[in-house]
Chains A and B, each alone.
Chain A
Amino acid sequence: MLSQQITTLIDKELKKYPADQRQSAVMAALRFVQDEKGWIAPEDMADVAVYLGMPQMAVYEVATFYHMYNLKPMGKHTLTVCTNLSCTLCGAGDTVGYLEKKLGIKLNEVTADGKFGLREGECMGACIDAPLLNVNNKKMCGKLTPEKIDSILADLEGGKA
């Protein structure tokens, strides 16, 4: 079941589109689900499909097409490190390596305490700040160095998202 908060948000989103094209709100709806639950379970996709009156498979297509939707639990804070060309040239490999060592997990894994998940991401369109990582798809952090990563993680640990 979609929570009251999610349906309220979807209803607000739906106002942007013609009444007979409810499926236009699918990307936003999936985002709301992920914001609340951290990931999008197949049952949630089915609920979104029913709510928007579209085929379940069509929701699944959207959810699997876009990289920023988590198809499995990715921890409280999902750290997505860009590994596209510019970032890789500027040391994204080191960023990933440092994070893996520091968190004790590999890419696509979650720490045992469920706090951090680590993912690989596609170009975030801010190559000037490479290497980049994105926290929960909301906060972009650039020009990463081990010190900067340490402080980002400390902030997140301390509750400052």
Chain B
Amino acid sequence: MINIEIDGKQIQTENGSTVIEAAHQAGIAIPHFCYHKKLSIAANCRMCLVQVEKAPKPLPACATPVSEGMKVFTHSEQAVKAQKGVMEFLLVNHPLDCPICDQGGECMLQDMSVGYGNGHSRYHEEKRMVLSKDIGPLVSAEEMSRCINCTRCVRFGAEIGGQMELGQAFRGEHAEIMSFVSGSVDSELSGNMIDLCPVGALTSKPFRYKARSWELSRRRSVSAHDSLGSGLAVHTKDNRVLRVLPIENDDINECWLSDRDRFAYEGLSSEQRLTKPMIKQGGQWQEVDWQAALEFCANGLRQIASGAGAEQIGALATGNSTMEEMYLLQKLMRGIGSDNVDFRLRQSDFSADGKQQGAPWLGMTIGDIGRADRILIVGSFLRKDHPLLAARIRKAVVRGAQVNVIHSTDDDLLMKVAHKAIVAPDAMVDALSQVAKGVAAKQTDGIAGSLASGERVAVLLGNFAQQHPQAAQLQALAQQIAEATQGKFGFIGESANSVGGYLVKATPAGKGMNAAAMLAAPRKAYVLLNVEPELDCADAQQAIAAMQSADLVIAMSAYKHGATEYADVLLPIAPFTETSGTFISSEGRVQSFNGAVKPLGEARPAWKVLRVLGNLLKVDGFDYETSQAVRDEAMQGVDVAVKLNNAVSGIESKPAVVSGLQRVADVPIYATDAIVRRAVSLQATTDAAQPKAWLHSKELSKLGVTAGVQVKVAQGQGNALLEVAVDDGLPEGVVRVAAGHPLTAKLGAMFGTITVERA
């Protein structure tokens, strides 16, 4: 620590920090544009010039390291004169279009020119003009003349996003921010450039001209689209969500948001929203009132329970349902005598059930991952499944951490990967057990060597590992490796409330059936909470068949979706922005939120719908007044920290049974849940392109087809016509075909045999 003085205030600060950091610590504001605490120092805007004693001229505070006894003046005559001079230059070329600029009201340049600008300009010549750019459906670069060339967006791409898609081309007066040969910006974190842009050059395309920033109300919420628990500031006007911004929390999402979290809100006002309860009568859908719909449901369930037996009723929820909803769903099911309830829809191996000591979780905090020095990522489409976690690991790699990967695809993680084993799904267990053996034998090279040499080892099991048919074995092996390296291991939860689902026991116990069993042995009745079976389940074909053969399907959903084909009742429920609720993030953080807007039409929060259903079915203890009361009951006596435990024992090894080509299925980043699937701008991105059948070029020549042609991909009775594409990063013997997409919804299990033939 060293002592410096800023504006006469004595400050103790860390050696090596900069003047602007020291000032911010002490609560002294220094005007700036290009400086950002999370980005490298560019010192190109010059706005932060300050006077430093004994320095012959003003120095940029962002690039000046502190030294013992330094005296800094941020508002002295010399400093202010310099700052005003810089301001005048910045405004020389800046258009005076604040009245129609989306940044108006939240613009750093606007704010700063109030403080440091002149009432009128001394510059009367022509302003420079920079042409607009089309960089994709999310970020608008329509008014690049507003750009002050701070390069925050460029640095964000290169340093946080991991890919430099924007750059500053040309120089001097001709310098402009652009992408290479007018390409689009495809980063899954691109929306952060909008927040970073201090002016109105990069703005949100979906939000463009929708509202002025001061007209918006702000509500706190929590992301429903991945398991990180990112804080959302939901901005609303006239009872509509108009945009979503991050709430800063260094332990979770820092100051970032993934594009999925940021732009998914468009799905909330989709035309497919279900706004009235509906019943199918005589093959026709009829709008009815809530009373009729709920009585229909209660009667139907009662009949099946008393006739065929309650075990003929199954309940499925998605992992991004709130904790309150899942708690009431399982309470309702158990109240009517069925133990068939599950939220792990894409899981295929349940052999760890009953052998786990607690609820599976991240096994460490998100911060721990950033501080790890050796990381093993098993079975994860990390960048697409958990974009911000990938960014955090990327930062750890820059600081010297080694990342190792065991997976069935070799997607670019946009970070340096120390070692990787890319194997077919049936060889995953073998690959991981090799590492476990290597670590035990103090191997010095390869993945095992990398892990063994670490002090803070993290082994992370991704979505693919959790959905794998040998998931329990992968878990047991990860545990072995973590023990041998004195590290930690855990699951990167698939959805916003994966941990919550376990904690409120939305999983079968005793004789109950899990998600896969309920669909493999079709039930007579299903209660679906947010579920789109053909898109959300491990085996789409089987799920649809089960729905179609059921006598009663009650679909609680915010959307009119595929359920219109097979459901008997559609109950309009509120998505997470229209209800209060709680998500428990992967690291066990319990975060409650309130509705940001009122439910659309006659939609109601699902906890209220379940409460009334409970009353109609005369199940005890369904008299909640508020969702808080539900939460308090659900969490009564639950110590989250104690309940979270990944330890598992007694897992039997079972061989992988696959013949022929194996399917590798990812759930594309913008196909993960019902809201995201209906967010139009996200659906227009490159990441939301139609799924293809990806094969290694050797497999392609075996099949005698060339890239770009249509092929028929088949599993069981279903097939899909897909374009074939080459990915030599894939192991031989596999076909990568995405799940969660309507185009592939007729196919079978996400893992297993798949055939490809000429269309």
Q: Which residues of A contact B (CB under 8 A)?
A: 42, 45-46, 55-58, 60-61, 64-65
| Residues in A neighbouring B180, C-beta threshold 8 A | 42, 45-46, 56-57, 60
CB distance from B168 to the nearest CB of A (A): 6
Contact with A along B161-189 (1 / 0, CB 8 A): 00111111111000000011100000000
Cβ of B612 under 8 Å from chain A: no
Contact check: which of B158, B169, B171 meets A60 at CB < 8 Å? B169
CB distance from B35 to the nearest CB of A (A): 21
B contact patch SS:
mixed
What CA separation (Å) do A78 and B204 show in the bound complex?
44
Contact check: which of B163, B167, B181 meets A61 at CB < 8 Å? B167
Q: Which residues of B contact A (CB under 8 A)?
A: 158, 163-171, 179-181
Q: What residue of chain B has the Cβ atom nearest to residue A63's Cβ?
A: B169
The total of interchain contacts (Cβ-Cβ below 8 angstroms) comes to 31
| Residues in A neighbouring B169, C-beta threshold 8 A | 60-61, 64-65
Q: What residue of chain A has the Cβ atom nearest to residue B158's Cβ?
A: A55
Q: What residue of chain A has the Cβ atom nearest to residue B171's Cβ?
A: A65
Q: A42-B180, A42-B181 are in contact. Are A57 and B166 (CB under 8 A)?
A: yes
| Residues in B neighbouring A58, C-beta threshold 8 A | 164, 167
| Residues in A neighbouring B165, C-beta threshold 8 A | 55, 57
What CA separation (Å) do A56 and B178 show in the bound complex?
12
CB distance from A160 to the nearest CB of B (A): 35
Q: What residue of chain B has the Cβ atom nearest to residue A45's Cβ?
A: B180
What CA separation (Å) do A65 and B174 show in the bound complex?
10
What CA separation (Å) do A39 and B729 show in the bound complex?
34
| CB <8 Å contact, B170 and A57 | no
| Residues in A neighbouring B163, C-beta threshold 8 A | 55
CB distance from B599 to the nearest CB of A (A): 45
18 A-B pairs with CB atoms under 8 Å apart are: A42-B180, A42-B181, A55-B163, A55-B165, A56-B180, A57-B164, A57-B165, A57-B179, A57-B180, A58-B167, A60-B167, A60-B181, A61-B168, A61-B169, A64-B169, A64-B170, A64-B171, A65-B169
Q: A42-B180, A60-B180 are in contact. Are A65 and B170 (CB under 8 A)?
A: yes
What CA separation (Å) do A45 and B181 show in the bound complex?
10
The 10 closest A-B pairs by CB, nearest first: A57-B167, A55-B164, A64-B169, A56-B180, A57-B180, A61-B167, A64-B170, A42-B181, A65-B171, A57-B164
CB distance from B171 to the nearest CB of A (A): 5
What CA separation (Å) do A60 and B168 show in the bound complex?
9
| Residues in B neighbouring A65, C-beta threshold 8 A | 169-171
Q: What residue of chain A has the Cβ atom nearest to residue B170's Cβ?
A: A64
Q: Given contact pairs A57-B179, A57-B180, enumerate 12 new A-B contacts (beta carbons under 8 Å).
A: A42-B181, A45-B180, A46-B180, A55-B164, A57-B165, A57-B167, A60-B167, A60-B169, A60-B181, A61-B169, A64-B170, A65-B169
CB distance from A10 to the nearest CB of B (A): 20
What CA separation (Å) do A89 and B169 show in the bound complex?
31
What CA separation (Å) do A108 and B180 show in the bound complex?
23
What CA separation (Å) do A132 and B602 show in the bound complex?
79
What CA separation (Å) do A42 and B171 show in the bound complex?
18
What CA separation (Å) do A119 and B234 show in the bound complex?
54
CB distance from B688 to the nearest CB of A (A): 23
What CA separation (Å) do A58 and B170 show in the bound complex?
12
CB distance from A8 to the nearest CB of B (A): 26
What CA separation (Å) do A1 and B166 show in the bound complex?
24
What CA separation (Å) do A121 and B315 show in the bound complex?
74
What CA separation (Å) do A57 and B151 show in the bound complex?
13
| Residues in B neighbouring A56, C-beta threshold 8 A | 180
CB distance from B519 to the nearest CB of A (A): 45
What CA separation (Å) do A95 and B538 show in the bound complex?
75
CB distance from B92 to the nearest CB of A (A): 22
| Residues in A neighbouring B168, C-beta threshold 8 A | 61
Residue of B166, B168, B179, B180 contacting most chain A CB atoms (<10 Å): B180
| Residues in B neighbouring A57, C-beta threshold 8 A | 164-167, 179-180
What CA separation (Å) do A65 and B165 show in the bound complex?
17
CB distance from A84 to the nearest CB of B (A): 13
| Residues in B neighbouring A45, C-beta threshold 8 A | 180
What CA separation (Å) do A58 and B168 show in the bound complex?
9
| Residues in A neighbouring B158, C-beta threshold 8 A | 55
| Residues in B neighbouring A55, C-beta threshold 8 A | 158, 163-165, 167
CB distance from B139 to the nearest CB of A (A): 15
What CA separation (Å) do A65 and B180 show in the bound complex?
14
CB distance from A31 to the nearest CB of B (A): 18
What CA separation (Å) do A61 and B167 show in the bound complex?
7
What CA separation (Å) do A65 and B172 show in the bound complex?
9
Q: What residue of chain B has the Cβ atom nearest to residue A42's Cβ?
A: B181
| Residues in A neighbouring B181, C-beta threshold 8 A | 42, 60
Q: What residue of chain A has the Cβ atom nearest to residue B182's Cβ?
A: A42
Q: What residue of chain A has the Cβ atom nearest to residue B174's Cβ?
A: A64
Q: What residue of chain B has the Cβ atom nearest to residue A59's Cβ?
A: B180
CB distance from A41 to the nearest CB of B (A): 10
What CA separation (Å) do A73 and B86 show in the bound complex?
39
Q: What residue of chain A has the Cβ atom nearest to residue B181's Cβ?
A: A42
What CA separation (Å) do A123 and B168 show in the bound complex?
23
What CA separation (Å) do A76 and B168 show in the bound complex?
30
Q: What residue of chain A has the Cβ atom nearest to residue B169's Cβ?
A: A64
| Residues in B neighbouring A60, C-beta threshold 8 A | 167, 169, 180-181
What CA separation (Å) do A152 and B299 show in the bound complex?
99
CB distance from A95 to the nearest CB of B (A): 23
